[in-house]
Amino acid sequence: MKNTFGSSVAVTIFGESHGGAIGAVLDGLAPGIPVDEEFIAEQMDKRRSVGAISTARREPDKVKIVSGVFQGKTTGTPITFIIENQDTRSRDYGELAYKARPGHADFTAQAKYHGDQDFRGGGHFSGRITAGLVAAGAVALSALKAKGIIVGTHILSCGGVWDRSFQDIPADIAALAHRDFAVLDMSVSEPMTEAIIAAKNDGDSVGGRLETAVYGLPAGVGEPWFDTLEGVLSHALFSIPAVKGIEFGDGFGVCDKRGSQVNDPFRSQDGSTFTTSNACGGILGGISDGMPLIFRLAVKPTPSIYKEQLTVDMRTMDNTTLTIQGRHDPAIVHRARVVADSVTALTLCDMLALRYGTDYFNA
């Protein structure tokens, strides 16, 4: 099992959903980078369950930093974030030790780990593990912001209800930073919430789309071929549970257009080169072109639903049924947006350090 991502700036995740604690280790950041624990707490709050549209599991998610930070700044050594699990209810999973939940990793975990995996709450496969990524990502986001690079994600669609796309990107990202339910057009918040609650009342769940923008990323980041900017980002972002697709810029929309509609024209002004459109989403040849980086994630409906479903008893190989008990999210797209921000920031920190050296962030 590989739990580390990154070459120069690397993050390692650990823990299980119902274990004693979860967390992350962030290694490779230069010394002297400010660590704002209040900002870390704010980011953790964006991921926490809230109200009727989230699971009833209420974790405080207080982050304890046990290494790598001294007097409010990074020391250059590994930063370890620990988050205790305090609201577990493992008895809800007794029946599921051998019954594979449709849409979950129970069967594939059994195939790989032969029954030795912690199945409670999904164990190490649980979305709960993303809390460590958010803690580490908060430090990465702060490091990027100090270099003039900002990241923001909103719910583009949920339950068939659509938000508008990014327009004034810096202003939109600033607005999203203070919104628990991350939409740009506040008029769609209520119908999205109603769609989530309607699915919940039916014992079901809904999915959605996330749209992320990165503003201020310099041109020249990324490699051609196997370590392209979009390739490395995709690798990292597909680690987020429930992400089933990604597209950059116009994405699949380019398939039905001509080259004259898709090619972004170049212009020059005051010594800077830019494009007058951004169909490529800020990436050409696997390398950033200095325009805003834009991508969208497809987030599937939460697989834990309360309807009876067909499955297999993995001990006897008999066909059977199950009805999931416990506390589950009717949608996770609204909680996943801060995870998308965090994973994006961690990946960009790594790629920027590879391009400019580790001292880029304290220069």
- Tens of pLDDT, residue by residue over 103-112, are 888 888 888 8
CA distance 36 to 29: 15
What residue ranges define each of the domains in the chain, with the CATH number in brackets? 4-362 (3.60.150.10)
The residue type found at 299 is V
The tens digit of pLDDT for each residue in 75-96 reads 999 999 999 987 656 555 666 7
Q: Is the dihedral of CA 63, 68, 70, 73 positive or negative?
A: negative
List the Cα angle 108/309/160 in 5-degree steps. 90
- Residue 190's Cβ-count burial label (10 Å; 0-12, 13-18, 19+) is exposed
**Mean residue pLDDT across the chain:** 92
As a whole number, mean pLDDT of residues 218-232 equals 97
Instruction: Answer whether 141's CB lies under 8 Å from 212's CB.
Output: no
Mean pLDDT within 171-182: 95
3 state SS of 21: strand
Cβ-based neighbours of 148, under 8 Å, separated by 6 or more: 216
pLDDT single digits (tens) 25-44: 999 999 999 999 999 999 99
Q: Calculate the alpha carbon distances from 86 to 22, 25, 347 in Å.
A: 11, 21, 30
pLDDT tens digits, residue range 350-363?
A: 999 999 999 999 86
The candidate with the shortest Cα–Cα distance to 236, out of 74, 76, 3, is 3
